Every structure is written in structure tokens, then in C-alpha cells.
Amino acid sequence: MSGKRWTRVLLLFISLGISVGIGIPLGRSVPGGAVDLQVVYYGTRCLLQHHDPYQLSALRDQYVSLRKVVPPVPAESPELVSVYIYLPPTFLIIAPLALLPWPLAKILWLIFLTGALWLAGVVIAKEGERYATGVGLFLTCLVLANCEVGLALENSAILVVSLCTIGAWSLVRQRGMFLAAIVFAVALAVKPHDALLTCLYFLFAGGVYRRDALRALGIWVVIGLVSVMWVSQVAPHWMRDWQANMAAEAVHGGISDPSPDAVKGRGAGQVIDLQAALSVLKDEPSFYNPASYAICGCLMLMWMMATLKGRFSEARAWLALASIAPVTLLVTYHRSYDAKLLLLAIPACAMLWRAGGWKGWCALAVTTGAILFTADIPLALLSNATPQFDVSRMGVMERALMIPVVRPAPLALLLLALFYLWIYVESVRKHQAPEPGGEPIGAAG
């Protein structure tokens, strides 16, 4: 291995080590540890024992029955027992893990998370270096060094966005396509709102990429059908219970509420979708939900039209992925640990940086800004540095001015989406999409 590769591996290892070194002790400080893993682990064990995991009483009994691994705190504690909101395909993916004792399952799951995140970082850093040495590695290290919350909770989003990144890289480079389809199918099964738009890009791109995307979607459908049949036998009314659980978490002030008054409205694990920013202006779902869907819908429509019209190339593919990744995070419920999906924007940034000019500087600025303002450490520092403002007592103009302070992440993501979508649409219109080694996109600018 050359000195350059050793340096890349070492820097990525140190960056991920920062997240592991902070995240694991942080997770152990929470009652029971790995709160998000507990939800899917105990929920799946509940289903394996023929009980309805979408019923809080049945899920609580599962916690209590395994009290040896649950701290002696009230079973009703929201930190330990929360309603199950994952869709049925997650059960099928987690079932092998749920058959193992909790300590072993926890260790294996953490290995899966860090291993997938490491591999995603390696392929993206290497891809970035094809265009501009240094830029891709720097941004990748920045992402890997800010995964503390996701690793502390051992949230499945870390695995999903890593698999999505690996799958996208594999399809763009046409390497291991069948494995890429499986990887995408697993990501879609666990968190479809993280992976669906990325997978749809390859469906819209046509050619062999459409075949690969259809293969992934087909595997996902099979997983979905099998899991729904399984869950329906045990819990015939699971859909009604799931909808009730979703509504319970989305109530005003609840854990999934995007408003400033939410339980986890601030800090490193805050909600980062566009609703979170718009709710500062007017804290009413009847306002921020339609407004968010309208804005993101327009962005997705422009992106889809450009994808259907354009000719596929590696360079254009990275521009397309860089523009749809932030839209994915903006359109619906996401938290900071989902934002590691921004790994997909790094190759496009390196490509534009190589082209030089003001577009390169803008690409570096908006990409770095989006990564920083969705990163765990900066969000934690910003939350601690600013007091808990009561925006409900402010006027409209004051609220608008407070958005960058209390909700910087959605604004940074929106700026990133607008910039890369503009570059992407422009490249389609001008038919400027050379392959690596040729004149990079944006060179004329």
C-alpha cells in the first residue's frame, strides 16, 4: 500500500475513532444503553414470541421479562420503552440479531454500524480523490468524525445511509451490481425514506442502471410482502396500531415534533427536515407541512425532469446524487444521524473544485457548510452556546431572523440542494458531462 493510501486510511480511522470514542461512552451513560437498538431488538423479539410489538403493553412486557439487561428504572420510562414505529420489513432484517442474547447482539450491531460506515467513507474518499486530492478526504473525515449520536443510540440510520452510499457508488462505477441491489434492498427495508430517492435516480437514469434499480426494488418488495404476511398473522391490526404510534410521537412537543417546543428540538440529535425551519415561522402543521412538501416537491420535479432528459455519465450521476441527498433529508422526518447521507455530495464537490473558478469555491463552501451544520459536534456546541429562545413570544420578522440560530441545518441543506440542482440542470441543458479524466463539469464557468 502506497504512502498516500496509508495516509487516507489513517485519517479515516482517526476520524471514525473520534465518533466511536465519544459515542460509545455516551451511549453507556443512557439507561439501558443503545436506546434505538433496544426498540428494534425488543420489538422483534416480541414478534418472534407471537405478541404484537405495536402494542406498547406487549413491548413493555418484553422489556420487563428480560430485566437482567434492563436497568432497575420504571418500565414506563420513555427513555427505555417507547412505541414501535418501524415498518414490518425491519423485523425480517433484525430477526437474526434478535435471536441472540442482548450483549452479543449489541456488540455485533455496533460492528455492523461502524464497519458499514467505514466502508462508505473509504469508497467516497477514494472517489473524491479521482477528481481532487484532499477535498474528498477532508469532507469524508468531517462526516466520520461527527457520528457520535447515531453510534451512541446505535440507530439503524447509520447502517442505512452507509449501505445507501455503498450501493450508489457500486452502481455508478458498475461494480458488484447484484450485491449493490441487495444492499439497497436492505436499506429500503429498514428506512425507505433514507434510501428511496437515491434508488429512484438509477431507475430514472435508464439503461443498465434501470435494470439494477428494478432488481433492488424487486428484492425490497419481496422482503416487504414476506414481512407483512408474518406480522399480519401475529398482529392483524398492525397498520392501525402503527398509525396510532406515529401520531403519538408526532403530537406537539413530542419526540418527532419538528417544532422548537419538541422534546428533542435542539442539540446534536435535532430534527433537520424543512418543517423544522418553517415551524419557527408558524408552529402549526397546517402551515409547515404543506409549505415543506410544496418546496421539496418542486425541487424533486426539476430533478426528475433533468434525470429523464439527461444522458447518463459518472460525472452527471454524482451531481444528481449530490442534489437529491439534501432533498431526501428535507422532505420528511430526519435527524442529524440521517445526514451522513451527505457523503453522496462529496464526489460532486471534488469534481467542481477540480474545475476551479467560483463554482468550485461555492461547491466547497455549501458542501462544507451543510456537513458542519448537520454534524453532531457543531450542533451540540451551538445548542449549548445559545440560550433556549422562546420564539412563540416573538414577531414574524424576529422569528425569521432566529431560524439560522435555532434551525441552521435545514437552511444549509436547502442551500446545498439548490446549488447542486442548478449545476445538475445546467449540465443537462448544455450536455456537459464528461467522464473522469476529461474536462470537468463547470470548467467553462
Q: Between the CA atoms of 114, 40, 342 and 163, what dihedral angle is there, to the nearest 10 degrees?
A: 60
Enumerate the β-bridge partners of residue 335: 271
The cell for 382 is 451551538
| CA dist., res. 85 & res. 53, Å (int) | 9
Q: What angle do CA 331, 335, 340 make, to 5 degrees?
A: 90
The tens digit of pLDDT for each residue in 405-445 reads 888 999 999 999 999 999 999 998 886 444 444 444 544 33
Q: Tell me the mean pLDDT in the region 325-331.
A: 96
Binned at pLDDT 50, 70 and 90, residue 32 comes out as low
pLDDT (0 to 100) of residue 441: 54
437 vs 342, more confident: 342
- Closest by CA position to 40, among listed 75, 111, 91: 91
- Closest by CA position to 440, among listed 345, 353, 361: 353
Q: Tell me the mean pLDDT in the region 344-371.
A: 95
The tens digit of pLDDT for each residue in 204-246 reads 998 888 999 999 999 999 999 999 999 999 999 999 989 888 8
> Which residue type is seen at 116?
A
Q: What angle do CA 193, 195, 196 make, to 5 degrees?
A: 70
The tens digit of pLDDT for each residue in 276-296 reads 899 888 888 899 999 999 999
For 270: left if phi > 0, alpha if psi spans -120 to 50, otherwise beta; the answer is: beta
pLDDT (0 to 100) of residue 409: 92
Enumerate the β-bridge partners of residue 152: none
Enumerate the β-bridge partners of residue 271: 335
Q: Where are the alpha helices (DSSP H) in 235-356?
A: 238-249, 274-281, 285-309, 314-331, 346-355
Non-local (6+) Cβ contacts of 195 within 8 A are: 160, 161, 163, 164, 167, 184, 187, 188
Q: Which of 79-93, 297-311, 347-361 has the lowest mean pLDDT?
A: 79-93
Q: Tell me the mean pLDDT in the region 364-388.
A: 86
Question: Which percentage of the chain shows pLDDT scores above 70?
Answer: 87
Q: Above 60 in pLDDT, residue 76? A: no
Q: Tell me the mean pLDDT in the region 64-70.
A: 56
Binned at pLDDT 50, 70 and 90, residue 265 comes out as low
pLDDT (0 to 100) of residue 439: 44
Burial class (CB in 10 A: 0-12, 13-18, 19+), 197: buried
* Average pLDDT score over the chain: 86
Q: Kindly give the interhelix angle for 346-355 and 102-129, rounded to the nearest 10 degrees.
A: 20
Q: Above 70 in pLDDT, residue 388? A: no
pLDDT (0 to 100) of residue 437: 45
Q: Do 143 and 340 touch, CB atoms closer than 8 A?
A: yes
Query: pTM of the full predicted structure?
Result: 0.90
pLDDT (0 to 100) of residue 35: 77
pLDDT (0 to 100) of residue 70: 45
Domain layout of the chain by residue ranges: 26-126+142-248, 268-432
The tens digit of pLDDT for each residue in 166-203 reads 999 999 998 888 889 999 999 999 999 999 999 999 99
| CA dist., res. 161 & res. 226, Å (int) | 24
Non-local (6+) Cβ contacts of 205 within 8 A are: 213, 307, 312, 317, 320
The tens digit of pLDDT for each residue in 102-129 reads 889 999 999 999 999 999 999 999 999 8
pLDDT (0 to 100) of residue 266: 65
